A and B are shown apart, each in its own frame.
Chain A
Amino acid sequence: MSGTPIVLADPPGPRGRRRILISSIIALVVIAGLVTLALLRLASKGQLDGELWSVFVDQPDLRTLLWNGLLDTLRAALTAMVLAVILGVALAMARMSRHRAVRIPAVAVVELFRSLPVLMLILFAYLGLPALGWKLSAFWALVLGLTAYNGAVISEIFRAGIASIDRGQTEAAAALGLRPVQIFRLIQFPQAVRRMSPTLISQLVTLLKDTSLGFVIAYSELLRSGRGAVEFLGSRYALPIYTVIAVIYIVTNNLLSALARWLDRQQNRRLGGGHAELPVDGAVATGARPAAAVPEQGGPGGTRT
């Protein structure tokens, strides 16, 4: 993960390096110019006035409001994450079952949830389920909608993770006399989890951001709390408040990614140290292929089979 960045081409030669240097300078100048322009425009409209931005200091209620909003966001996100991962693993296992009667319903559920907008699933949970006699709070409606969609997506991520494991691993386990359930639990599952973790984390970040959809059912998450504050204080406070909310989202999501990286490192250390990807003294013979990457699964709705 660290070290040299991933690039698509050969390392550049002298001419290439000169060209890269020149285009980098031009890009920097252009970006600096655009930022300056934006700041000047904002300043001329009075958007950068100290009074607008000191609202976070002057109004303790605003801080409390945003803090509670963040807590509500995290509560919904964490609950939905746990449930979505459980649902995802269950759906993936069902979809890989030897029995058609288990496989087909799982395929149907995954394809259904995956092809509906999250927003619609949330609305259905909030407005549709009561019609069926099942009344949910805004919190649970949001969690349920997020769980359904992300569970379906995670099941596909997980299935790709399992599929990317070398057949030889399963064969070796079977040859020892392990039963299919044991092979899944002891060999396939742990390896799949490690391979899919980057994709899984990006999906969980998406989930966290999608909690902001809770505003349609009046769930008091972070973004809705901010919007409430803007309505109350006046729209000239929109820029400061939304900027701060953006920063909170960025920090939270990066903390989530950092947590994932940390967990991965802990696991590496526990497994005898060394860099995970680097084989020692030619250990990669024809047989020991390097881990095939799990296909990239884009943002919301961007997964493929």
Chain B
Amino acid sequence: MPLVTLEGVGKSFGDNRVLSDVDLSVEAGEVVVVIGPSGSGKSTLCRCINRLETIDEGRILFEGNPLPAEGRELARMRSRVGMVFQSFNLFAHRTILDNVTLGPTKVLGQKRGQAEARARELLARVGIADKADRLPRQLSGGQQQRAAIARALAMDPVLMLFDEPTSALDPEMISEVLDVMRSLAATGMTMIVVTHEMGFARSAADRVAFMADGRILEIAPPDDFFGAPKSERARDFLARILQH
């Protein structure tokens, strides 16, 4: 059974059709990288999977069950899915350590000491153990994003969603975040990653999904996709971004 299944998913913002007839299934342990031009609906797709956006058509299954619409069940489902945002979204008034322990203590009901020990371990794993007592605004963008990854991992998720995790970063900080994501992929974490980083897609993805105009036009292993893209749109897109 796939971990996540999207069947005929469609969504519009007013007259603007952002997703049409999207089918996708992701197996446990798989890394799927979603690429495509701006406005192709990749972020919306990512945000639909933990219901930060609602869908108008089709259905999304998580572990075989339709996404809960509200309440305790929705919160429980979200607690099993980690999310990393483009703009980090660390809680601005809490220290890095508190950011990481908030979910485990308030959602999972862990003891403070246990949550803290685990948080420090995760912060060390993403390379910012020394920043535990800082506030988010005192960290660089790359450090903030790594803290955000640690925050998501502290919930022991079965799936991680990355919504353009490096798009808001200065160029020199992109690789430090991608390295963390690569090592996470290597541990067997199931990941859906929306990104513009083709190098990451090539090296870390099991499959690459190419989106344009709200549809998935192609989905294939990276070697096949980058070696011989089938659709005109994908060839165009790759030609444009690989030129420089």
Interface residue ranges, A against B (CB under 8 Å) = 166, 168-169, 171-179, 182, 186-187, 190-191, 194, 271-272, 274, 279-288, 291
Residue of B88, B91, B151 with most chain A CB atoms under a 10 A cut-off: B91
| Contact present for B79 and A177 (CB under 8 Å) | yes
Shortest A186–chain B CB gap in Å is 7
Q: Known contacts A175-B52, A272-B133, A279-B138; is A194 also within 8 Å of B93 by CB? A: yes
Query: Chain B residues near A187 (CB, 8 Å)?
Result: 91
Query: Chain B residues near A291 (CB, 8 Å)?
Result: 92
| Contact present for A172 and B155 (CB under 8 Å) | no
B15-36 vs A: 1/0 string, CB under 8 Å?
Answer: 0000000000000000000000
Q: In this complex, what residue of A is CB-closest to B155?
A: A176
| Contact present for B89 and A272 (CB under 8 Å) | no
| Contact present for A168 and B85 (CB under 8 Å) | yes
Shortest B77–chain A CB gap in Å is 8
CB contacts between A and B, total, < 8 Å = 114
The yes or no answer to B230 lying at the interface (CB within 8 A) is no
Residue of A172, A176, A272 with most chain B CB atoms under a 10 A cut-off: A176
Q: How far is the CA of A283 from the CA of B79 in the complex (A)?
A: 28
Q: How far is the CA of A168 from the CA of B164 in the complex (A)?
A: 14
The yes or no answer to B209 lying at the interface (CB within 8 A) is no
Given pairs A182-B106, A280-B137, 17 additional interface contacts (CB within 8 A): A168-B88, A172-B151, A175-B152, A177-B75, A177-B77, A178-B103, A178-B106, A271-B135, A272-B134, A280-B138, A285-B168, A285-B170, A286-B87, A287-B86, A287-B168, A288-B141, A288-B144
Q: Known contacts A272-B95, A272-B134, A282-B170; is A287 also within 8 Å of B140 by CB? A: no
Query: Chain B residues near A176 (CB, 8 Å)?
Result: 78-79, 102-103, 107, 151-152, 155
Query: Chain B residues near A271 (CB, 8 Å)?
Result: 93, 95, 135
Q: How far is the CA of A288 from the CA of B141 in the complex (A)?
A: 9
Query: Chain B residues near A177 (CB, 8 Å)?
Result: 75-80, 103, 107, 155
